Amino acid sequence: MKTIRIKNEYDIEQVEDTVLVLGYFDGLHQGHRALFAEARKLAKEQGLKIALLTFPESPKLAFVRYKPDLLLHLSTPEERAAQLADLGVDYFYLIDFTSRFARHTAQEFFDKYVKRLKARALVAGFDYHFGSDCKGVEDLATYFSGPFVVVPAVTEQGEKVSSTRIRQTILAGQVAQAAKLLGHPLSTRGMVVHGDARGRTIGFPTANLAPLDRVILPADGVYVVEVEHDGKLYRGMASVGKNMTFEGTELRFEANIFDFSQDIYGDTIQVFWLDKIRDMVKFDSVEALVEQLEADEKFARQWKN
């Protein structure tokens, strides 16, 4: 897959005819994957390459009052690119969604971008909208004379799979459900840094982690996780939240890696969130905390998908 960062339509130098997939894709969930399945089918039938023109950040940033969570993603840029390559994308174009870009009418968008991308077929989701005049998929035939496929909603338990739903699920701590909707577990990269070292004194040493990416974290709680370090996967448990038993006031992200005893300060590890064990709780004593951690570890070791 070729990744091309562009500032405007003049940066597009497309030489091969394409199936163009339309939309903003964060996390590449099951609904998104249905679009790329259709794109692969069209590409094979018509001898085309697959192209995607999308944005590094949410288009909402150009329209609504800023909130920090607007900059949080369901995957890192590197993960998104790797997933797109696996889904068959040949040309991955990225352009910032600015006020200037947002002013393009539907006709201007097709004239400047779709034509330059040499689109011979289109794939879009049922809820896709485009242009400053807010056209929808029902209007595609007005601007495009080639074949196009509109992919209906993918549902799970009777409800549409969407990035919004997945974000809500993660913020509720339902990471196992989020993994079903995404098609893969949510993950977080973190650098191992020094903390209070209390876990070591009670028999549960933890890697204190500084998150490295703008990826959404699950709700406060204790979770079953898998941890990747140096290419190897380890089962473990991780916590997000304030250490209430020790009167903690700062948000902490820690992982207890099972059957692992290396010193890894400064290393980067990746945590894959599998399931929630419990909420964060303030314990009356260290002994009560240790008893609960032993139960948490038993649950985490025995957990199966």
Determine the longest span between alpha carbons in the chain, in angstroms.
Answer: 71
Whole-angstrom distance, CA of residue 51 vs CA of residue 276: 38
**How do residues 230-263 score in pLDDT, each as one tens digit?**
999 999 999 998 665 444 446 789 999 999 989 9
pLDDT band at 285 (very low <50, low <70, confident <90, very high): confident
Domain 2-160, CATH class in plain words? alpha beta
pLDDT digits (tens, 9 = 90+) for 25-55: 988 999 999 999 999 999 999 999 999 999 9
User: Which tens digits make up the pLDDT trace of 56-65?
Assistant: 999 999 999 9
Q: Where in the chain is the domain with CATH 2.40.30.30?
A: 176-302
Assessment of whether the complete model's pTM goes beyond 0.75: yes
Beta bridge partners of 39: none
Q: Is the pLDDT of residue 160 over 70?
A: yes
pLDDT for the residue numbered 198: 65
Question: Could you give the residue range(s) of every CATH 3.40.50.620 domain in the chain?
Answer: 2-160
Determine the pLDDT at residue 300: 97
* pLDDT tens digits for range 177-232: 999 999 999 999 999 998 776 666 677 888 999 999 999 999 999 999 999 999 99
Q: Give me the pLDDT at residue 201, please.
A: 65
- Per-residue pLDDT at 251: 76
Class of domain 176-302: mainly beta
The beta-strand segments (E) located in the chain are: 2-5, 18-22, 49-54, 91-94, 119-125, 129-130, 135-136, 148-151, 155-156, 159-160, 187-193, 207-211, 221-229, 232-241, 252-257, 268-278
What whole-number distance in Å separates Cα of residue 236 and Cα of residue 49?
A: 42
Specify the range with the lowest mean pLDDT, choosing from 77-91, 122-136, 198-212: 198-212
Output the pLDDT for position 250. Answer: 67
Q: What is the pLDDT of residue 246?
A: 46
Q: What is the pLDDT of residue 286?
A: 84
The CA distance from 128 to 227, in Å, is 36
CB within 8 A of 98, min separation 6: which ones?
A: 62
